[in-house]
Chains A and B, each alone.
Chain A
Amino acid sequence: MDKYSSRDDLIAALTEDVTPVQIVRPGQGAAMIVFATVAALIACLFIFGFWQGMINGEASPYFWISNGLLALVGAASTSALVSSVLPRVGAHGSAPQWSLAMLAILPLAAIIAFLSYEAGHDHGIGMSDPGLMYGECALYGLTASLVVAGAAVAFVRRGAPVSLDRSGWLIGLASGSSGALTYNITCPIDSLMHVGIWHVLPVFVAAVFWRYAAPPLIRW
């Protein structure tokens, strides 16, 4: 908008066409993100099929732990993200960071397990895990995360985030974890190596990507 010679002129121009506005509510953003997650889930089920192992006892504890942690990161970061669109001053909550730290235990555990095979001279056991070969799972999770990220960016643009970097991180965490979750529950490979690396990687990739990609999209 052009600069006005006086503040009164600016105010007169702005108030010329005042209309009622619909208040932006964090709940609307949460609903949009949940809706996008469900849409991504339906697409994944349609493309990859429903994995029966999830209900007939075949799924390993790693399957449940990893997906539970992803759901936790998704919920914490979504909650923080939708709150961040209303301008406010003061400290931010740290739930997303702590939930991410919990999720990071999985890749750490996978790496430690791999190294311990090597230290125990069981060379090749770590690499022989077939789950390590299926890196495309990370790609599928990332692709699903784009659907969620689209909804998240659309909602944030309606609001007024005052910390663009933080909102970028949160968009990445929320979309990466929710997107990965929607694909992961269709994946029958549930060894520690596989879920600890490929099922969790999309969260970290999406977080870094959106930290840099989101600010130009949500700047106001």
Chain B
Amino acid sequence: MVADEPTFARLMQAAQNGDKAATNVLLSEAGLWLERYFRRRVPPHAIDDLVQDVIISFYTKRATWDPSRPFLPWLAAIARYRWVDHLRKVYKHESQELMDDDAAQDSEEDVVMARVSLDRLFGQLPERQAEVIEMVKISGLSIKEAADKTGQSESLVKVNIHRGLKTLATMVEKAE
């Protein structure tokens, strides 16, 4: 069972005062809470890395929690910041590949990661952007094949993928 708000707050105050045992328990409990937080947001194989990233950020920035404020919203804000950062890295990686036009050589892992992350948000994109992202970044078609299938020019396919990925990153960042 994951600790509740008062327990977290108590442990965090002790951690801010330099209590080693409390910090240990706090980070372990925060890890469990973060696992649940990320379970519905990122692919299963990416959860542990992301949880570790947040734990490091959490520990490094522990001085920014104000004991007069609730703890969990503070932790959620840090988790969300790292999550957006993670998505940006994924999308940046995808966009760079587009510029190199070697989308068909994506690794299995990247394609799965893109699929899981993007599927949740696809419904909010214009159809022309969603369909080319689906074709090129998930099904593995080349830019030319996607252009032939959709009737868009090759440059338009690239632009639509680039804009679509950027919009997705922005949507995620703005969602509170």
Binary contact readout B28-67 vs A (1 if CB under 8 angstroms, 0 otherwise): 1001000000000000000011011001110111111111
- Could you tell me how many residues of chain A have their Cβ less than 8 Å away from some Cβ of chain B? 31
**In terms of DSSP, what is the predominant structure of the interface of chain B?**
helix
Q: Are B55 and A10 in contact (CB under 8 A)?
A: yes
Q: Which residues of chain B have C-beta atoms less than 8 A from A3's C-beta?
A: 49, 52
A87 contact set on B, CB distance < 8 A:
61, 64-65, 74, 77-78, 81
Q: Any chain B CB within 8 A of the CB of A119? A: no
Which A residues touch B23, using CB under 8 A? 14-15, 18
Q: Which of A4, A7, A20, A25 contacts B18 (CB 8 A)?
A: A20
B17, closest chain A residue (CB): A20
Partner of A18, one of B20, B77, B78: B20
Interface string of A15-50 (1 = CB under 8 A from B): 100111111110000000000000000000000000
- A93, CB-defined interface residue at 8 Å: no
Chain A residues with CB under 8 A of B76: 89
A160 contacts partner chain B, Cβ-Cβ < 8 Å: yes
Report which residue of B16, B28, B67, B77 has the largest number of chain A beta carbons within 10 angstroms of its beta carbon: B77
Cα A91 to Cα B31 in complex, Å, equals 26
Q: Is the pair A11, B31 in contact by a Cβ cutoff of 8 Å?
A: yes
CB distance from B6 to the nearest CB of A (A): 19
- The interface centre, meaning the residue of A91, A158, A162 with most chain B CB atoms within 10 A of its CB, is A162
Q: Are A24 and B176 in contact (CB under 8 A)?
A: no
Q: Is the CB of B52 within 8 A of A7?
A: yes
Q: CA–CA, A89 to B48, complex, Å?
A: 23
Q: Are A86 and B16 in contact (CB under 8 A)?
A: no
Task: Note all chain A residues with C-beta closer than 8 A to B59.
Answer: 14
Contact A10 B78 (CB under 8 A): no
Compute how far the CA of A91 lies from the CA of B27 in the bound complex, rounded to whole angstroms: 28
With an 8 A cutoff between CB atoms, is A57 at the interface? no
Q: Are B63 and A22 in contact (CB under 8 A)?
A: yes
Q: Is B19 an interface residue (CB 8 A)?
A: yes
Offer 21 A-B interface pairs, CB within 8 angstroms, sorted by A: A4-B52, A10-B52, A10-B55, A11-B27, A14-B23, A15-B20, A21-B63, A23-B66, A24-B64, A86-B69, A87-B61, A88-B73, A88-B74, A89-B80, A91-B176, A158-B63, A160-B57, A160-B81, A162-B77, A162-B78, A162-B80
Which residues of B come within 8 Å of A, CB atoms?
15-20, 23-24, 27-28, 31, 48-49, 51-52, 55-57, 59-67, 69, 73-74, 76-78, 80-81, 173, 176
Knowing that A11-B55, A86-B66, A88-B73 touch, tell me 16 more A-B residue pairs with CB under 8 angstroms.
A7-B31, A7-B51, A8-B28, A12-B24, A14-B59, A15-B20, A23-B16, A23-B65, A23-B66, A87-B74, A89-B80, A159-B61, A160-B57, A160-B78, A160-B81, A220-B61
